[in-house]
Amino acid sequence: MFPSTFHSTHHASSSLQYHLSPPSDSCPLPEGDIRALLNFGIDFAFEQCKELIGAGVPGLHFYTMDRSQSTAGVVARLRREGLL
């Protein structure tokens, strides 16, 4: 996912840092549970998008790499939350 103004967000993006840690007791993902992993990724990407939109980016651009289920989940949630 890239802000639509990728070339001009380099400086602003330095304050938007994300640290993705392996699952722990506070965020259990059962081994082999693909649905849980998919939902974790959607939640994480949603939070990134929410922060980017809140920071004023004019749009988002997603690269799905022929795997659109996660992106569709993120977009659906952004719409439900009134962010799109």
The pTM for the full model equals 0.66
Q: Is 20 among the domain residues?
A: no
Tokens describing residue 44 = 């994480």
Q: 71 in a domain, yes or no?
A: yes
Return the pLDDT at 5: 41
Share of residues in the chain with pLDDT > 70 (%): 65
Q: Does a structural domain hold residue 28?
A: no
- Residues in the chain where the model's pLDDT stays below 70: 1-29
In a domain, 75, yes or no: yes
The domain containing residue 57 runs over which residues? 33-84
Amino acid 42: pLDDT: 93
| Termini Cα distance of the chain | 15
Q: Structurally, how many domains does the chain consist of?
A: 1
In SS3 terms, the chain reads as CEECCHHHCHHHHCCCCCCCCCCCCCCCCCCCCHHHHHHHHHHHHHHHHHHHHHCCCCCEECCCCCCHHHHHHHHHHHHHCCCC
